Amino acid sequence: MAPIPDSPCGLRFCRDCNEFKPIGEFPKGKRRYQCRKHVEERCKQWRRRAGVSKNVLAKVWHAAYMDARAVFQRKVTKLSQADVAKLFAEDGIEPAVSFRALPVDPSAVISADNAILVSMDERRRLVREWATNEDAERYREMVLQLQGRDLVR
């Protein structure tokens, strides 16, 4: 659509309202032809379309990334947000920020095969255990006990 010029009396045409409005009712910055009301409505629609679970997956992934760097001293992670979604699906859990992805084997890079979902309380215990002892075998046993799995050696 061709740009509609501002009128000389300080008004701009809003394409959604289909009327001229004062320039002050338009967002600052790039010249747009939607008033603030319609820009905000459009942003709300985009947020709803993105879905809550996508934001949750991003937060859980970011926490896993930060844990890998800060706690386990790994510069690289091979875990993606799609892998985090698969972890939630495999465990039959609705994605929530109250869970964290941690490596099963802390001496290896966190990846889809080396990740497990734990609650925040379980995460605190595991991280505390790793920070005090750095005993990979003890850590791995604790992770597998939390998930109710048999220890595979």
- Looking at residue 109, the DSSP 8-state letter turns out to be -
CB 103 within 8 A of CB 78: no
What are the start-end ranges of the E strands in 8-110? 11-14, 19-22, 99-103
| pLDDT 10s digits, 61-105 | 999 999 999 999 998 889 999 999 999 988 888 888 999 999 999
Q: Is 34 left (phi over 0), alpha (psi -120 to 50) or beta?
A: beta
Assign residue 73 a region (left: φ > 0; alpha: ψ between -120 and 50; beta: otherwise).
Answer: left
pLDDT tens digits, 105-144: 999 999 999 999 999 999 999 999 999 998 988 998 898 8
